[in-house]
Amino acid sequence: MAKSEDRHFRRRVNSAYFTSVISITLVLFTLGFLGLVVIQANSLTTYIKENIGFEIIIKPGVKEADVLHLKKILDTRDYVKSAEYITTEEATRRLSEVLGEDFIDFLGNENNPLLPSIDLRFNAPWANNDSLAVIEQELMQNKAVKEVYYQKSLVHLINNNLRKITLALLGFSLLLLFIAIALVNNTIRLAVYSRRFIIRTMQLVGATESFIRRPFVIKGVTQGIISALAALVLLSLIITTLQKQIPELSLLIDLKSIGLLYAAIFLLGMLMSGFSTFFSVRKYLHMNPDRLFG
């Protein structure tokens, strides 16, 4: 009879342990997936901003050497990601490809309205209206520059929408983190609850609080590690599947950010489980014995 009760108790403990691992894994996976979305959104934001740029139109008659000198100066600026010199011939060729016919045949080479230009792209932190206005003023002071063209309203719209999306994702991430901590804490408390009489028995035989608490905390941390590893495997499968289905996503994947996310999920799993176990065991160590049966 005693052996049967012992087996029943072990099954309950193992079931509680397994349930805790599954619950924590799902919570960490959800957090990791949201983190992945945030990282991809940030990469997309950077990609969009770095494709915002100026078309610097060069005045007629300016020597090519002067244009190349201006390009060389721009290449040294912190705000410049890339600068491409487009000759009149190259601009003509590109426009002809777009139109599907050689419009120079109608106008003649001497009447070509296209001027050489420099296609400028900016680093993401500089791709906002205030910074672009300052850069525009600086460029217009150059004697070789006829005009600086960019869509100001589009830049404002892009930055405004990206800011809203970023704030929404940040707020949702904080809310989900709070919910995740609460769920993990409740899961751990239920698992410890099933072993509250063991804690009480160890107290009665004179075991110290640290001695009682140590194996629970170690097991809690182990739960966190196993759950984190399982969540990371699921995340890796998601990333691999998405890359196969949508190859363009590979352009937005930042391996450094993904590595930091994996490290954060791993540490979060350990810390949440460890601290939740610590405080749950502490609660039963100081609980009135009469309340153990409640």
Per-residue pLDDT of 122-165, as tens digits, reads 888 888 888 888 888 888 888 888 888 887 777 777 778 777 88
What's the distance, CA 169 to chain centroid?
Answer: 10
What share of the chain has pLDDT > 70, as a percent? Answer: 83
> What tokens appear for 229 in the block?
């590893």
Indicate whether this model's pTM tops 0.85.
Answer: no
Instruction: Give pLDDT, residue 2.
Output: 46
Q: Is 53-149 in CATH node 3.60.10.10? A: no
Digit-coded pLDDT (tens) for 70-81 = 889 888 888 888
Q: Write down the mean pLDDT value for the chain.
A: 78
- Give the residue extent of every domain in the chain: 2-47+158-293, 53-149
Helices (H), the chain: 2-49, 64-75, 88-99, 104-107, 129-140, 152-193, 196-204, 209-245, 255-285
Q: What is the 3-state secondary structure (H, E, C) of 30-82?
A: HHHHHHHHHHHHHHHHHHHHCCCEEEEEECCCCCHHHHHHHHHHHHCCCCEEE
Average pLDDT over residues 250-257: 74
Indicate the range of 68-77, 152-161, 264-273, 275-284 predicted with least confidence: 152-161
Residue 53 has pLDDT above 50, yes or no: yes
Instruction: Give pLDDT, residue 229.
Output: 93
Instruction: Give pLDDT, residue 293.
Output: 58
Q: Per-residue confidence at 232, pLDDT binned at 50, 70, 90?
A: very high
Indicate the range of 2-11, 132-141, 154-163, 259-268 predicted with least confidence: 2-11
Residue 5 has pLDDT above 50, yes or no: no
C-alpha 238/C-alpha 232 separation (Å) is: 10
Residue 121 has pLDDT above 60, yes or no: yes
Roughly how many angstroms between the first and final C-alpha of the chain, as a whole number? Answer: 26
Q: Per-residue confidence at 262, pLDDT binned at 50, 70, 90?
A: very high
Q: Which residues contact 166 (CB under 8 A, 6 or more apart)?
A: 41, 42, 45
Tell me the β-bridge partners of 85.
Answer: 118
Indicate the range of 138-147, 170-179, 280-289 predicted with least confidence: 280-289
Residue 263 has pLDDT above 90, yes or no: yes
Average pLDDT over residues 191-218: 77
- Distances in whole angstroms, Cα of residue 7 to Cα of each of 1, 2, 12: 10, 9, 9
Does residue 44 or residue 224 have the better pLDDT?
A: 224
